[in-house]
Structures are given as structure tokens and as C-alpha cells.
Structure 1
Amino acid sequence: MEIIRQIENEQKKDSLPAISVGDQVKVDYRIKEGSRERIQVFEGTIIKIQGEGVRQTFTVRRLSYGVGVERTFLLHSPRVEDVKVIRRGKARRARLFYLRGRVGKAAKLREKTDY
């Protein structure tokens, strides 16, 4: 077990911001198309964070042309270039699945004012 922990600690990223559920983020994700690679930005609200250590994942939800799109990212993945927090949202629960049934202003969270 100690060998596995040692390998996981080598793969951990150090320069990640503190993210929490309800935050609006921009995720720079590296996409490979054929022989080319490019960075695609996925912007939305974090609705779920699970796992710990290298296995930690977070799910981001956004509305694209009126359709809800959710994408789950590995936090310490080499494909995730950067995670930028745009605004901190005030969430009173750990999973924001209730946002799936809401659109427009109803799907917005209040901004957290005390950091």
C-alpha cells in the first residue's frame, strides 16, 4: 500500500485553487484531435465533488443552447491544464443536483461574500 501512495503523491498537482461546490469555474482541458492537441475551455458551476487525493473528481454543469451539459473531470489529470474560479457560490449542501431541473435565473446561486 505504501508504494501506491508514493506513486499517487508523485502524480498530484500542487498549483490548483481551492474549489468547492457552487463555484463557477473555467476548466482548461486539453483535447486531442487526430495528431493535433488544443485547449478547450469548459465554463460552468460545480455541482459535485467526490473522492480524495489523486482520485478526486468534480462535475461541472452548464447550459449550452438551452440544453444542460455536465462533464466530470479528474482534478489531478494531466489533461486538465488549469482550473480558474470565476465566482464563489454559496451552497448549503454538498450536491447541487436540484440545479438540473432549473434554467435561467432560477439556476443561479448567490455569491459568497465572506471568504
Structure 2
Amino acid sequence: MKTKTSYTDIINKVEQEFLKTNLPNIEIGDNIKIKRAIQEGNKERIQISEGIVISKKNSGINTTITIRKVIQSIGVERIYLIHSPKIFGIEITKKSKVRKSKLYYLRTKSGKATRLKQRFI
């Protein structure tokens, strides 16, 4: 008896080839540095972005993280695809103790109110 393979099984098999295996365990509240390729004309360079992870969406190859950083008293958020070929490396600089899965409350706070308690490993 033949078993039918569904479309999702076929898609998952194809996506397995493109998943990165050397990623660190990124959690909400981590301060991270992301190295990604930037195209400027015909040259390509690596730019480092750093900030705190305020949300994470797990969905296979489409796993995304939202990074927040305050630059000159303006909050900047950026969403990154973790398994993108443009991302060369992710480095965790600091871990924080949090009790929520999304840290959207940091958007309304500023200054010392945005500090999170550090977690030591």
C-alpha cells in the first residue's frame, strides 16, 4: 500500500537543506550582534547590528527575530530572518531574565526603565 506524501512534507524536505545548523540558542531578552551582508553598488560589505531581542517567531525556515535598539533617543526596530543567506553570524553578548514572550512594553519606556536583569550562565 502506497502512502501519500502531502505538500507540507515535500516543502519541509526542501527547506531542510537551507536551514542553518550553527546558530546559537537565541531567546527573548538576549543582547545580540548580527553580522549581515550589505550591497553597496557593486561592492558587498559586512555590517554589524546589535540590540535586544524583543520577539521571536518560530516557523521553520521563516524563523524571525525582532531586534530593538535606541539610537539618539529614537527607538529602532528591525526584523531579521535567521536562516537568510545574507546573515553570516549571530553572537550573543548578554542574556537577560524575562518572564514574557514578547517585550513590546519596552517601546513605551525609556532610559533606566528599559534595563533588564542580567542572567548568568
Match of 2:118 in 1: 111
Gaps of 5+ in 1: none
Matched, 1:29 2:36: yes
1:61 deviation in Å? 0.1
Q: How does 1:5-84 map to 2 (within 5 A)?
A: 5-84=12-91
Distance in 1 between residues matched to 2:72 and 2:35, nearest whole Å: 21
Matched, 1:95 2:102: yes
1:64-92 deviation per Cα after TM superposition (whole angstroms, max 9, x unaligned): 11110000000100011111000111110
Deviant stretches of 4+, over 2 Å:
none
Distance in 2 between residues matched to 1:29 and 1:65, nearest whole Å: 23
Distance in 2 between residues matched to 1:72 and 1:50, nearest whole Å: 10
Matched-pair identity in % = 38
Distance in 2 between residues matched to 1:109 and 1:69, nearest whole Å: 18
Alpha-carbon RMSD across the aligned residues, in angstroms, is 1.0
Aligned to 1:6, the other structure's residue is in SS state: helix
Gaps of 5+ in 2: 1-6
**Which of these two proteins has the greater Rg computed from alpha carbons?**
2
1:3 deviation in Å? 2.1
Aligned to 1:11, the other structure's residue is in SS state: coil
Distance in 1 between residues matched to 2:60 and 2:53, nearest whole Å: 18
